[in-house]
């Protein structure tokens, strides 16, 4: 479904005065506002193909209707999001859920919506019907070399699919680990995983990156073979310069200081990118910024500090991806909310007075340092984010427009009330 530009223009016209009033707050700080708006325009956040359908839980799945039935429709959904917010210009695919049978046609279709292909994801955490050996006891760590080889081959196949579409990165997330003490020889599991990853790494094209995603728990609950940033960092360091750690915000033990992890990885040149989401308990995959917006801001604060210190381009140096999927909200509304929350955190962090912050730190002025951060966090940057969208043809209020045009009803009309997307 294509969104016609008239709808966006009408929507923006009707809200323009109210928007300009809110923006006038920035009249005294035009330079700061302009710099922030420009950075927001450049900043694109990739949408995961598997979040376009209603997410399942272990207990059930309540599909909302009109979900994309194939890769073409997933691309159309991301195209719709991008038309609304002009900030979702990439899609991240998961193989085999999204095998592109005709990569040329798929690439062309994505091009029509102005979309690029972000990291491709492999899947050795489920058994597929056409697969000969099982991943029940792991994939790249498996005791049986034949199972490891099957998982290696799958990852290489994923790279080839990505190459055909113009992706530049492979994300490897492994469910490998153990559920009971005694089950696994940790040392051997690490070494086997490293060796297997090494074979995949060797198949990477020269301009590709490999993201090693860690997760502390689930589906294994005693040990995870890539369980924390330390082990991911070790794998990435041993693999070589094309390998990086990927931080999924929901993959930590409770109360982990994610912003500090981010700062250290970035400083080591080993931070590859993100899977944004939010959580209260575990890998909840809730909408970004819905539970801990201050944490999201603090992460961006470290990102900006570290990227600027290393002369990195904010928009293109790291992989910015969402990994959230919902089962009680319309997935497209949920994704619009996630993108907006990420932009808000980014914009607020851009406002931090870094010189004053460093002075306060050097002087051990704790209260002042805290004031500086909270001052930025408590600034209402919504008009800046809306202005960034407006300037590049997006909607002032994407979610409101999506609703007023009855987009979900239209999708249900096109695809049916029982259309269910592939994924978890
Ligand atoms: C695992 O929990 C994960 O975060 C990985 O990124 C997977 O690819 C994705 O979720 C699957 O939904
Ligand atoms: Mn993830
Ligand atoms: Mn996850």
384 conformational bin, left if phi > 0, alpha if psi -120 to 50, beta if neither: alpha
Q: CATH no. for residue 139?
A: 3.20.20.150
| pLDDT recorded at residue 7 | 96
148, 240 contact by CB (below 8 A): no
Assembly ipTM: 0.99
Q: Express the helix, strand and coil content of the chain in percent, nearest 5 each.
A: 50, 10, 40
Residue 17 lies in a domain: yes
User: What letters, b where the CB count within 10 A reaches 16 and e where it falls short, cover 172-190?
Assistant: bbbbbbbeeeeebeeeebb
Distance 324 CA to ligand 1 centre (A): 9
Closest residue by CA, ligand 1 atom 8? 173
91, 110 contact by CB (below 8 A): yes
- Site to substitute for ligand 1 among 120, 213, 221, 331, most atoms within 8 A of C-beta: 213
Residue 37 lies in a domain: yes
Bridge-based pairing of strands 177-178 and 223-224 is antiparallel
Distance 283 CA to ligand 2 centre (A): 9
Residue 422 lies in a domain: no
pTM comes to 0.97
pLDDT digits (tens, 9 = 90+) for 271-318: 999 999 999 999 999 999 999 999 999 999 999 999 999 999 999 999
Closest residue by CA, ligand 1 atom 7? 173
Q: Which domain holds residue 376?
A: 5-415
Residue 120 lies in a domain: yes
pLDDT digits (tens, 9 = 90+) for 26-63: 999 999 999 999 999 999 999 999 999 987 777 788 88
Closest residue by CA, ligand 1 atom 1? 173
Nearest bound ligand to the CA of residue 276: 2
Distance 251 CA to ligand 3 centre (A): 6
Closest residue by CA, ligand 1 atom 2? 283
* Six token digits for residue 308: 């600027």
- Site to substitute for ligand 1 among 52, 95, 248, 274, most atoms within 8 A of C-beta: 248
Q: Quick one: which atom of ligand 1 is closest to the CA of 218?
A: 2
| pLDDT recorded at residue 222 | 98
Residue 266 lies in a domain: yes
Burial of 156 (0-12, 13-18, 19+ CB in 10 A): middle
Q: Quick one: which atom of ligand 1 is closest to the CA of 213?
A: 6
Closest residue by CA, ligand 1 atom 10? 323
3-state secondary structure (DSSP) of residue 211: strand
Query: C-alpha angle 78/84/86, rounded to 5°?
Result: 80
- Residues in contact with 52: Cβ distance below 8 Å, sequence separation at least 6, in sequence order: 67, 68, 74, 77, 78, 331, 332, 335, 421
Q: Quick one: which atom of ligand 1 is closest to the CA of 50?
A: 12
Q: Quick one: which atom of ligand 1 is closest to the CA of 246?
A: 6
Query: C-alpha angle 348/329/395, rounded to 5°?
Result: 50
| pLDDT recorded at residue 424 | 66
Closest residue by CA, ligand 1 atom 9? 323
- How many distinct structural domains can be found in the chain? 1
| pLDDT recorded at residue 422 | 73
Distance 207 CA to ligand 1 centre (A): 24
Distance 146 CA to ligand 2 centre (A): 27
Could you give the dihedral angle defined by the CA atoms of residues 339, 388, 401 and 55, in that order, rounded to the nearest 10 degrees? -10
- Site to substitute for ligand 1 among 275, 278, 284, 331, most atoms within 8 A of C-beta: 275
Residue 385 lies in a domain: yes
Residue 27 lies in a domain: yes
Closest residue by CA, ligand 1 atom 6? 173
Give the pocket of ligand 1 (CB within 6 Å): 50, 121, 173, 213, 215, 248, 275, 283, 323, 424
pLDDT string in tens for the chain (424-residue length):
678 889 999 999 999 999 999 999 999 999 999 999 999 999 999 999 999 998 777 778 888 899 999 999 999 999 999 999 999 999 999 999 999 999 999 999 999 999 999 999 999 999 999 999 999 999 999 999 999 999 999 999 999 999 999 999 999 999 999 999 999 999 999 999 999 999 999 999 999 999 999 999 999 999 999 999 999 999 999 999 999 999 999 999 999 999 999 999 999 999 999 999 999 999 999 999 999 999 999 999 999 999 999 999 999 999 999 999 878 999 999 999 999 999 999 999 999 999 999 999 999 999 999 999 999 999 999 999 999 999 999 999 999 999 999 999 999 999 999 888 876 6
Could you give the dihedral angle defined by the CA atoms of residues 310, 315, 320 and 322, in that order, rounded to the nearest 10 degrees? 140
Residue 384 lies in a domain: yes
């Amino acid at each position: 479904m294509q969104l016609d530009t008239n709808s966006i223009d009408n929507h923006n016209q009707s809200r323009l005065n109210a928007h300009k009033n809110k923006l006038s707050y920035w009249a005294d700080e035009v330079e700061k506002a302009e710099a922030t708006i420009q950075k927001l325009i450049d900043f694109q956040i990739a949408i995961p193909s598997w979040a376009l359908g209603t997410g399942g839980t272990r207990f059930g799945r309540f599909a909302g209707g009109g979900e994309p039935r194939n890769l073409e429709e997933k691309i159309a959904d991301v195209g719709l999001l991008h038309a609304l917010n002009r900030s979702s210009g990439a899609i991240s695919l998961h193989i085999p859920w999204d095998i592109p049978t005709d990569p040329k046609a798929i690439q062309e279709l994505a091009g029509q919506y102005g979309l690029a292909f972000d990291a491709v994801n492999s899947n050795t955490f489920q058994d597929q019907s056409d697969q000969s050996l099982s991943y029940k006891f792991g994939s790249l760590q498996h005791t049986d070399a034949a199972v490891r080889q099957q998982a290696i081959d799958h990852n290489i196949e994923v790279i080839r699919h990505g190459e055909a579409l113009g992706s530049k990165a492979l994300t490897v997330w492994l469910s490998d680990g153990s559920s009971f003490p005694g089950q696994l020889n940790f040392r051997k599991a690490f070494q086997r995983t490293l060796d297997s990853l090494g074979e995949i790494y060797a198949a990477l094209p020269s301009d590709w990156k490999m993201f090693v995603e860690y997760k502390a728990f689930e589906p294994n609950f005693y040990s995870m073979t890539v369980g924390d940033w330390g082990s991911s960092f070790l794998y990435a360091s041993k693999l070589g310069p094309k390998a990086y750690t990927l931080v999924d915000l929901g993959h930590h033990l409770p109360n982990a200081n994610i912003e500090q992890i981010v700062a250290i990885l970035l400083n080591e040149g080993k931070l590859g990118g993100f899977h944004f989401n939010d959580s209260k308990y575990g890998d909840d995959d809730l909408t970004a910024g819905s539970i801990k917006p201050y944490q999201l801001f603090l992460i961006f604060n470290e990102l900006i500090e570290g990227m600027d210190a290393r002369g990195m381009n904010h928009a293109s140096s790291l992989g910015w991806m969402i990994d959230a999927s919902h089962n009680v909200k319309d997935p497209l509304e949920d994704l619009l909310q996630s993108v907006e929350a990420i932009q808000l955190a980014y914009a607020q962090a851009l406002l931090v007075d870094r010189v004053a912050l460093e002075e306060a730190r050097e002087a051990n002025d704790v209260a002042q340092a805290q004031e500086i951060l909270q001052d930025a966090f408590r600034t209402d940057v919504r008009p800046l984010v809306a202005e960034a969208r407006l300037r590049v043809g997006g909607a002032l209020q994407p979610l409101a427009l999506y609703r007023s045009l009855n987009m979900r009803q239209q999708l249900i009309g096109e695809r049916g009330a029982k259309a269910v997307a592939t994924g978890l």
